Chains A and B, each alone.
Chain A
Amino acid sequence: MRRAAVALFCLVALAPFLYVLSTSLKQTRVLFDYPPDWIPNDPYGGNYTKLLTDYPFVRWVFNTLLVAGVVTAVKLCIDSMAAYALTRMRFAGRRVVLGAMVATIMIPPALLIIPLFFIVRDAGLLDTYWALILPALANPVGVLILRAFIQAVPEELEHAARVDNANAWQVYRHVILPAIRPGLVVVASYVFLVQYVDFVWPLVATQSDSKLLVSTGLATLKPRTINVDWGLTSAGCVLSMVPITVVFLVFQRQLVGRSLVAGLKG
């Protein structure tokens, strides 16, 4: 009984994906057949080839991976440094900075799209990779998550390093960073995911086709006026899921469960 219910949930979650997968392997005229073939007798790879040749899908993936990769790498550095300063150093204005970071989490991203657009435009960076990368560096969530992990590092470890004549940078590099490796994985996965999925901002900040990401590129597959090529669109959906599923499977244990609950409670 219980197992049946769980199976039902799984089915509901999976069915749309599977249907899309099966559609991606069909030709458009076959789509209207009823009842539909779940597993097409004659798998049609044409949708995929059309996707890869007529549309710069590879370019979309490349752009997305580039932007997401750069943002993740940079953010890991600057967020961990800032988190270390905010957690373990005493300095003028620490409470103010921390307070500002915590308060701004509540701000809906929608609010920021407009001013960011104008800021980026006035800086002449519209429609560049910078426009996609720089604003993403501001999100304070990474700093706050890493702060929680740094707080869990025993202070005595830092004391020992300081007595051993390590300066702040050396303590950061030899003691803090190795100790918060799980936290870095959590933040990296989170940042990468958010970047991969981002839609509104890239939509607003870029215009040229050369800057299309997976998210904005997929949107072009559903033009508002012409009829949608479902086979093509399905192929696009399937291929787009691949990178992110891979990332998820690799970092699965960190992303799902314990760390999230601990973060929520604390």
Chain B
Amino acid sequence: MTELQTARRRHTLRRNAVALAFLAPSLLAFSAFLLFPVVWVVRQSFLAGGVLGPARWVGLENWTQALSDPTLTRSLRNTVVYTAMVVPVTLVLALGLALLLRRVRRGGVVVRTVVYLPSLAPVVLAALIWVFMVQPDFGLLNVVNRALGIAPLNLLGDERLALPTIAGLDVWRGFGFWAILLLAALLAVPPELYQAAALDGASPARRFWHVTLPSIRPVLAVAALLAVVLSMQVFDSVYILTNGGPSGSTRTAVFYIYTSVFETGNPGYGAVLSLILLVCIVALTLAMAQIARRVGRAGA
């Protein structure tokens, strides 16, 4: 080999070694605690048992059981319904607040901080606060009801109202956070666009529809996507507020996964459920991306 070729080889080796040294710790953690678990889940979905004794191979048994499991269908339905309640309401409120905050100058920082507080609270904390709020005897909600002359409600004990109540928690937690995000997007719209529209004689409503919305569409789309993905994974609030009841009306997908592993003791089944949930989320995400693209093309 020529002097040049040996030099080249040594150089490339060295370059790779340096890069590896920088990458190694993060890559190690990533592989061990993220990649490997994913592979593990797929493998586990074909096994049964394993919590107390050794696991045994059961082939597709877990899968067939899952696909005909009414509880799974119910929990997926609960989750989707929940998401459908939370995301649109949160984003609409957030957008409204963001539009209002756009012109606020004095005390803007205070308002932004106050409004952001609910998102800061750990979900557990917020859930506890919320339990307190809807408490039949002295919860704030029922205090207001009493003041208005309505009978106090036991929201969390009511099969039909429990899920919307948890949804309410998420809306309360989320609207401030998304509002701040959307506010940043609104502030990034170049004012010339509005000025041009005003000169063209567009009313405020039309300016909103034709200038504001299209300009923030990318951010709005990502926000919606993120909100949906997060909503589909709701767990903490269910655990604290209702523990899946009453009568399984608030049993969401992740909650079902949790109980099937840690209460029923069948991790293989839990693995299958997780994968099914993953597929649902990905499908939903793709569907939303498609819709966003189509709306974008129609509007643009």
* Any A–B CB pair closer than 8 Å: yes
B-facing residues in A102-152 (Cβ within 8 Å): 104, 106-119, 134-135, 137-140, 143
**B212-227 toward A: CB 8 Å interface, digit per residue (1/0)?**
0000001100110000
**Any B CB within 8 A of the CB of A264:** yes
**Any A CB within 8 A of the CB of B88:** no
Known: A110-B233, A110-B254. A13 touches B114 (CB 8 A): yes
Q: How far is the CB of B177 from chain A (nearest CB, A)?
A: 9
Pairwise interchain contact B132-A23, C-beta atoms closer than 8 A: yes
Q: How many positions in chain A have a CB within 8 Å of any CB in the partner chain?
A: 96
Pairwise interchain contact B129-A115, C-beta atoms closer than 8 A: no
Provide the bound-state CA to CA distance between A197 and B33, in Å: 19
Most buried by A among B41, B117, B262: B117
- The contact of B101 among A6, A168, A199, A252, by CB within 8 Å, is A6
- The contact of A15 among B140, B147, B281, by CB within 8 Å, is B140
Stretch at the interface among A46-54, A154-162, A179-187, A255-263: A255-263
**Any A CB within 8 A of the CB of B40:** yes
Provide the bound-state CA to CA distance between A113 and B189, in Å: 41
**Any A CB within 8 A of the CB of B285:** yes
A-facing residues in B33-78 (Cβ within 8 Å): 33-38, 40-41, 44, 50
Provide the bound-state CA to CA distance between A117 and B125, in Å: 24
Q: How far is the CB of A152 from chain B (nearest CB, A)?
A: 17
Residues of A within 8 A of B285 (CB): 106
**Any A CB within 8 A of the CB of B160:** no
**Any B CB within 8 A of the CB of A206:** no
Pairwise interchain contact A13-B172, C-beta atoms closer than 8 A: yes
Known: A9-B115, A116-B37, A261-B188. A82 touches B27 (CB 8 A): yes
Known: A6-B101, A111-B41. A244 touches B120 (CB 8 A): yes
Provide the bound-state CA to CA distance between A260 and B237, in Å: 25
Pairwise interchain contact A82-B218, C-beta atoms closer than 8 A: no
Provide the bound-state CA to CA distance between A210 and B258, in Å: 23
- The contact of A264 among B101, B129, B179, B219, by CB within 8 Å, is B219
**A204-246 toward B: CB 8 Å interface, digit per residue (1/0)?**
1000000000111011011010001010011011001100110
Q: How far is the CB of B228 from chain A (nearest CB, A)?
A: 12
Residues of A within 8 A of B294 (CB): none
User: Which chain B residue lies CB-closest to A92?
Assistant: B16
Residues of A within 8 A of B277 (CB): 108, 110-111
Q: How far is the CB of A34 from chain B (nearest CB, A)?
A: 6
**Any A CB within 8 A of the CB of B243:** yes
Pairwise interchain contact B184-A260, C-beta atoms closer than 8 A: yes
Pairwise interchain contact B111-A10, C-beta atoms closer than 8 A: yes
Pairwise interchain contact A261-B100, C-beta atoms closer than 8 A: no
Pairwise interchain contact B233-A109, C-beta atoms closer than 8 A: yes
B-facing residues in A1-50 (Cβ within 8 Å): 2-3, 5-6, 9-10, 12-17, 19-20, 23, 31-36
Residues of B within 8 A of A107 (CB): 34, 38, 278
Known: A82-B22, A258-B184, A260-B181. A114 touches B44 (CB 8 A): yes
Known: A91-B19, A261-B184. A256 touches B27 (CB 8 A): no
Q: How far is the CB of A5 from chain B (nearest CB, A)?
A: 5
**Any A CB within 8 A of the CB of B130:** yes
Provide the bound-state CA to CA distance between A176 and B100, in Å: 40
Residues of B within 8 A of A108 (CB): 229, 232-233, 254, 274, 277-278, 281
Provide the bound-state CA to CA distance between A233 and B240, in Å: 13
**Any B CB within 8 A of the CB of A248:** yes
Residues of B within 8 A of A6 (CB): 97, 100-101, 104, 111
Known: A13-B172, A19-B133, A114-B261. A261 touches B38 (CB 8 A): no
12 residue pairs bridging A and B, Cβ less than 8 Å apart = A10-B114, A12-B172, A13-B172, A32-B138, A84-B22, A101-B30, A110-B257, A112-B41, A114-B274, A230-B132, A248-B120, A264-B181
Q: Which residues in B have some Cβ–Cβ distance to A below 8 Å?
A: 15-16, 18-20, 22-23, 25-27, 29-30, 32-38, 40-41, 44, 50, 93, 96-97, 100-101, 103-104, 111-118, 120-125, 128-133, 135, 137-138, 140, 143, 146-147, 172, 175-176, 179-181, 183-185, 188, 218-219, 222-223, 229, 232-233, 235-236, 239-240, 243, 253-254, 257-258, 261-262, 267, 270-271, 274-275, 277-278, 281-282, 285
Given contacts A6-B101, A20-B132, A34-B138, 16 further A-B contacts (CB under 8 A): A13-B172, A35-B143, A78-B25, A91-B19, A108-B277, A110-B277, A114-B271, A118-B267, A137-B26, A197-B122, A204-B262, A218-B128, A244-B122, A249-B113, A261-B184, A264-B222
